[in-house]
Structure 1
Amino acid sequence: MDIDWNSITHVTKVDPAKELPSDLEVLEGTDLVLVGGSDGVTESNTLEAIRAVDAHLPSVPVCQEPDSDDHVSRETIDAVDALAIPAVYNGDREHFVGKHVDLFTEIGRKPDEVVGSSVPVVGDLLASKGADAVSDLASKLFGEGYVVQHLESAAADRAGVESKWTPEQVAGAALATETFYGFPIFYVEYSGTYGGPADVEAASRYLEETTLLYGGGIDSADRAAEILEAGADAIVVGDCFHDDPETFRETIPSQ
């Protein structure tokens, strides 16, 4: 399934380590589901979450956003429409470029050299599909320019983020995303806290082709509307999906 980013205004972030709502019909109205998290995530619970969502919303694209190669396997790749690979601008080197170089180093190896590899995304996929695996995998990968703004979050801890960026720095990262790196997504992430519209307003001025996502503290229709009106192309809602499904419904613009 090709993802039409121009048609997406509401994204649901599903954390595989958290319990899903008993009634997944609450997802009806969301435009895309992003599966991933920082703590307690495994390949097994990721695949379980992906399959549960797809069973209830087969027409809605599902993306995996892995924090580690260990979360990815041939099964997860086959089950999703795309893999979103974050590049955290204000994180450490490992989380901006290090993991990506390691991943593509593994992808570039010959199949007979990676059989038994400890990296599931490569070992399983290449061993089963051979040379065609490289193009199969590449067709599903896309990069996300990321700025993590909540310093006390698990995402900030994992990515080595030590300082919150100013709106001017966020705007610079947005401009670099579109004009230099060419990622289709620029994501401002507040990880459970509400950052308000300032970063979004600053970043949106520089984005024409790149989709601007904002995530963090969206727990009402008013906050959803404020962020979208500030210039975000889509909001990402995660915590209240798991914690308060009825409130989650209110964040979906069409409802």
Structure 2
Amino acid sequence: MVEQWKHVFKLDPEKALDDASLEALCLSGTDAILVGGSSGVTYDDTVDLLARLRRYETPCALEITTLEAIVPGFDAYLVPIALNAGDPAYLVGQHVEALKRYGHLLPKDGLVAAEGYIIANPDCTAARVAGVKPVDEADIVAYARFADRLLRLPIVYLEYSGTFGDLGAAAKAKAALGNAKLFYGGGIDGGEKAAAAARVADTIVVGNVIYRSLADALDTVKAAKAAKAETA
């Protein structure tokens, strides 16, 4: 499933989104809806959003960023590992704790995948929470190789969170990968940036613009798919 995604909308359960907007996103042609946030995500908010998403056929995945918001019923579960985290809890500590609590609930026939996160914007919430170490282009490529070649992770997620990042670094990270897919997220606020990012990454993740301009968010779907078709 994940390997075929080209465009994903990311929804934060903590942020308000009316039913008409949610319907437009789900029927836009996006490949999936990813649910998650860096802070403030609760079980109740996540359950409520999942119930609303289940009105539509669009696949929905939960990105597990807090143990308190692990909710059954999603099509897939993505587990972020912050590769450049200064706090080791975000490398392995919270993951072990999650398995101690919920390991017996892991679906044997469902999709659970780890994401090797490279958090490249030191000013974003995720960076502050995980105490990340700043990265340059060489670091990004090295972390990508580490995730792909040594950890054998299926996803490398280059996260600029709110800022449109260095696509040159993204392209070099992509070139360094063998089997992993490159996800890119951050600062995609319309069709032009969606197309540019889609030409480099396997999958683009569009989030913050949803809550500022739904029309601009919807434009990213066709732009990304068109850019992918050009590079196929």
Q: What is aligned with 1:33? A: 33
Matched residue pairs, number? 220
In the alignment, what sits opposite 1:83?
77
Q: What pairs with 1:204-219 in structure 2 (closer than 5 Å)?
A: 204-219=174-189
For the Cα contact (< 8 Å) 2:10–2:33, is it kept in 1? Answer: yes
- Residues 170, 199 of structure 1: 8 Å contact kept: yes
> C-alpha distance in 2, partners of 1:184/1:107?
22
Cα distance, 1:157–1:137 mapped onto 2, change above 3 Å: farther
- In the other structure, the counterpart of 1:69 is 67
How far 1:144 sits from its partner (Å)? 0.3
Task: Indicate the residue corresponding to 2:122 in structure 1.
Answer: 151
**Partner in structure 1 of residue 193 of structure 2:** 223
The reply on whether 1:167 has 2:161 as its aligned counterpart is no
Counterpart of 1:185 in structure 2 is 155
1:93 to 75, 88, 95: 88
- Larger mean CA deviation between 21-30 and 33-42 belongs to 21-30
Tell me, what secondary structure is at the counterpart of 1:205?
helix
> Bigger CA drift: 181-190 or 98-107?
98-107
Q: Which amino acid aligns with 1:183?
A: L
CA RMSD between the two structures: 1.8
Alignment of 1:48-67 (within 5 A): 48-55=48-55, 57-58=56-57, 60-67=58-65
CA contact (8 A) 2:75 2:110 kept: no
Instruction: Give CA deviations for 1:197-252 in whole Å, capped at 9, x if unaligned.
Output: 022112011223211000000012111111122x2001100011122100101111
Matching residue of 2:219: 250
Asked if structure 2 preserves the Cα contact closer than 8 Å seen for 1:21 and 1:245, the reply is: no
**Distance change >3 Å, CA 41–CA 106, structure 1 → 2:** closer
User: Residue type of the partner of 2:184?
Assistant: Y
Q: How far off its partner does 1:254 sit?
A: 4.0
Q: Cα distance, 1:89 vs. partner? A: 0.7
Q: Distance in 1 between matches of 2:37 and 2:2?
A: 24
Shift, 1:4, TM fit: 4.6
Partner residue of 1:14 out of 11, 21, 29: 11
Q: Does 1:44 align with 2:39?
A: no
| 8 Å Cα contact 1:215/1:236 also seen in 2 | yes
Assess if the C-alpha contact under 8 Å between 1:193 and 1:217 holds in 2.
yes
Q: Which runs of 5+ in 1 are unaligned?
A: 109-125, 127-132
Q: Secondary structure at the match of 2:38?
A: coil
Q: List gaps (5 residues or longer) in structure 2.
A: 227-232
| 3-state DSSP of counterpart to 2:166 | coil
| 1:190–1:216 contact (8 Å) kept in structure 2 | yes
Q: Shift of residue 82 of structure 1?
A: 1.4
Partner AA of 1:49 in structure 2 = L
TM-score, normalization: structure 1? 0.80
Using the alignment, how far apart are the partners of 1:240 and 1:26 within structure 2? 14
For the structure 1 residues 4 and 149, does the alpha-carbon distance in structure 2 shift closer, same or farther, using more than 3 Å as the test? closer
Query: What amino acid is aligned across from residue 243 of structure 1 in structure 2?
Result: R
Q: 1: CA distance between counterparts of 2:89 and 2:128?
A: 13
Answering whether residue 232 of structure 2 is matched by residue 238 of structure 1, we say no
* CA distance in structure 2 between the aligned counterparts of 1:139 and 1:236, rounded to whole angstroms: 22
Question: What is the aligned partner in structure 1 of residue 229 from structure 2?
Answer: none
Q: 1:188 touches 1:199 (CA, 8 Å); kept in 2?
A: no
Residue identity over aligned pairs, in percent, reads 32
